[in-house]
Amino acid sequence: MYAKIDETELRKLSQQRASGLQTQLYVALATHCHKGNTCFPSLERLRKILGDVYHINSIHRALKWLEEKKFITRKEATSKTRFSLMLRQIKTALTNRLKKSTTGYDKHQRKTNNNNYRYYKKKKPIKRITEKKKKDQIIDDWAKEMTSLKDYHKLFNDPDQQGFVHACKLPKPDPFPSQKPLFFSANDLYNRIKCATNQNPQKSWVWQFYESLS
């Protein structure tokens, strides 16, 4: 098991004068973020990774410091996204924002390949996706986008983070939408949150934000 943190994360930890435990704990959380920016290790698991040399109260204080300095956000202990690495979420959101749409060359290449018998013969069979799975994916993508936008606004407007914002030349965040999305209903969102988290959806920030829209 290994972890990799980039130069931006390391510089931010140094600028905030992170202690040894705080830095080690951040690296330990990054170890569990295999294919994303979230993870859900238990405190005992984190303590074990750090060699059982720190008291559980010290780990609590270090996590609180990381949260106060906007390195991480925390949710309830039973959530599969219990810990979120904010710097990585912002980087991912900016990368997705700057991604270009499919180019004309790609479209032409795809058309050429489809007309090629040998290519067509090798193509894998198309997986059939049910309408429910499609709608669930749409809801998940919308919830992730709104959560990332909320975290970005929080970082961008935090007076303590203005030095970091100017140093990284972060662009001004997009405004929050004012109307509810049309591609799913409130009932769809309610059931999806309940199914994904096993919690009361009304306590979820995503649900509360949705209800605030017109």
pLDDT reported for residue 67: 92
The pLDDT score that the predictor gives to residue 101 is 45
User: What pLDDT is stored for residue 37 in this prediction?
Assistant: 85
Q: Is 147 helix (H, G, I), strand (E, B) or coil?
A: helix
Tens-place pLDDT, residues 158-173: 888 888 878 777 888 8
> Residues 190, 192, 197, 202: what is their CA dihedral angle, to the nearest 10 degrees?
-10
User: Per-residue pLDDT for 123 more than 70?
Assistant: no
Q: Please, what is the average pLDDT of the chain?
A: 82
Angle at the Cα of 157 from the Cα atoms of 169 and 168, rounded to 5 degrees: 15
pLDDT higher at 205 or 4: 205
In a 10 Å sphere around its CB, with 0-12 CB exposed, 13-18 middle and 19+ buried, how is residue 127 labelled? exposed
- Checking if the pLDDT of 213 tops 70, the result is yes
Give the rounded percent of residues in the chain with a pLDDT score beyond 90.
Answer: 21
The mean per-residue pLDDT over the stretch 191-204 comes to: 87
Q: What is the pLDDT of residue 1?
A: 60
The mean per-residue pLDDT over the stretch 93-104 comes to 59
DSSP 57-96: HHHHHHHHHHHHTTSEEE--TT-TT-EEEHHHHHHHHHHH
The pLDDT of residue 103 is 46
The C-alpha atoms of residue 187 and residue 194 are separated, in whole angstroms, by 11
Phi and psi torsions of 143, nearest 5°: -65, -40
Residue-level pLDDT at 66: 93
Nearby residues of 5 by Cβ (< 8 Å), 6 or more positions away: 26, 27, 30
Integer Cα distance of 69 and 73 in angstroms: 10
Q: What topology does CATH give the domain 7-88?
A: Arc Repressor Mutant, subunit A (1.10.10)
pLDDT of residue 22 exceeding 80, the answer is yes
**Predicted TM-score (pTM) of this structure:** 0.48
- Percent of the chain predicted with pLDDT > 70: 82
CA distances from 18 to 22, 65, 96, 177, 199 (A): 6, 9, 30, 36, 34
Looking at residue 10, the DSSP 8-state letter turns out to be: H
Q: What is the domain partition of the chain in residue ranges?
A: 7-88, 129-212
pLDDT band at 109 (very low <50, low <70, confident <90, very high): low
pLDDT in tens, 32-82: 887 778 888 899 999 998 999 999 999 999 999 999 988 999 988 888 889
Please report which confidence band the pLDDT of residue 99 belongs to, taking 50, 70 and 90 as the band edges: low
Under DSSP, the state recorded for 115 is T
Place of tokens 């509810």: 180
Least confident of 61-75, 93-107, 132-146, 180-194: 93-107
Average pLDDT over residues 192-204: 87
